[in-house]
Amino acid sequence: MAEQTPNVRAEVDLMILDYLVCLAISRLLAMVGNPDICADVEWLVESVETFRWIIEGHQFEPALPWDLDLKLRIFHIVNLYCRYEAPRDRRPLPNFTPLSHIAVEFMQFCHSSIENVSKKRWFDLGAHLMAHAILEEKDRFPEHLRRLCSWTTNDDELNAYWEVSRGMFLEHMPPPYGTAAPASREELDRIFDVQLLHNRLTGFFEDLMDVLDVPLLVQVEQGQLIGLTHEETQRVIEYCQS
């Protein structure tokens, strides 16, 4: 087999990374709410990171394709969220990422991808994440939580959306963050059911992935390239194999 040129090698690595990151996101979303079994996809997460490092070595100019860049950012957030487990005591937590930090990254991701996300779903999920961060981290990570609660944009319309969504959740939260009457942790856990949060997050990212380009390797695997018929795809595959 003839040796691949650097440009061909780089394009192949891009296709592999696109395939791996989509597979990793799908597997991680299926495991949301079960951090103990995230180890089952550790090899896949490590493969994504390895190919990401390889891609950086190619020094693409301009940057990565926009949809692949978006997928990598989705992967980063979903990977953090899948591994999150609420702290139960005051012991040191090495390599722990607070939920409030994940929520800020989510808000920033949506703000920079505003053309691809629903504003209502973005802010409702952000407020839902904030409510759970308050419940789990108000005493442990006050600085991270303060950054989340004070998150804002330079756009008055977006800020209005955010305030409405925040209010929907904070009206059920006792002071100092909300306006509801004091309640026990058990009552608050019933109001802010964590499974609803998991469902909202997985649904958000699954729907977002549906509007992004299907990896070329998956298209080949499925026997039909986007824009071509099944027969045309087969001719392309046969030509490449000849």
Same domain, 96 and 79: no
Among 83, 105, 131, residue at a domain's last position: 83
The predicted-structure confidence for 21-55, as pLDDT tens digits, reads as follows 998 999 999 998 876 666 678 888 999 999 888 87
Same domain, 103 and 163: yes
In a domain, 230, yes or no: no
Number of domains in the chain: 2
Same domain, 207 and 119: yes
Q: Inform me whether the pLDDT recorded for 10 exceeds 80.
A: no
pLDDT, residue 238, reads 54
* pTM of the predicted structure, to 2 decimals: 0.85
Please state, in angstroms and rounded to a whole number, the distance separating the CA atoms of residues 177 and 172.
10
pLDDT, residue 61, reads 62
Same domain, 26 and 70: yes
Q: Which of 58-62, 116-120, 208-212 has the lowest mean pLDDT?
A: 58-62
Which class for 100: exposed (0-12), middle (13-18), buried (19 or more C-beta within 10 A)? buried
pLDDT, residue 230, reads 61
Same domain, 132 and 151: yes
Better-scored residue on pLDDT, 111 or 40: 111
Please state, in angstroms and rounded to a whole number, the distance separating the CA atoms of residues 66 and 92.
38
In a domain, 111, yes or no: yes
For residue 43, the enclosing domain spans: 1-83
Same domain, 118 and 152: yes
Same domain, 131 and 18: no
Same domain, 45 and 93: no
Same domain, 129 and 201: yes
Same domain, 104 and 163: yes
pLDDT, residue 153, reads 95
For residue 62, cis peptide bond before it (omega within 30 degrees of 0) = yes
pLDDT, residue 122, reads 97
Confidence of residue 239 (pLDDT cuts 50, 70, 90): very low
In a domain, 168, yes or no: yes
In a domain, 218, yes or no: no
In a domain, 239, yes or no: no
Better-scored residue on pLDDT, 51 or 167: 167
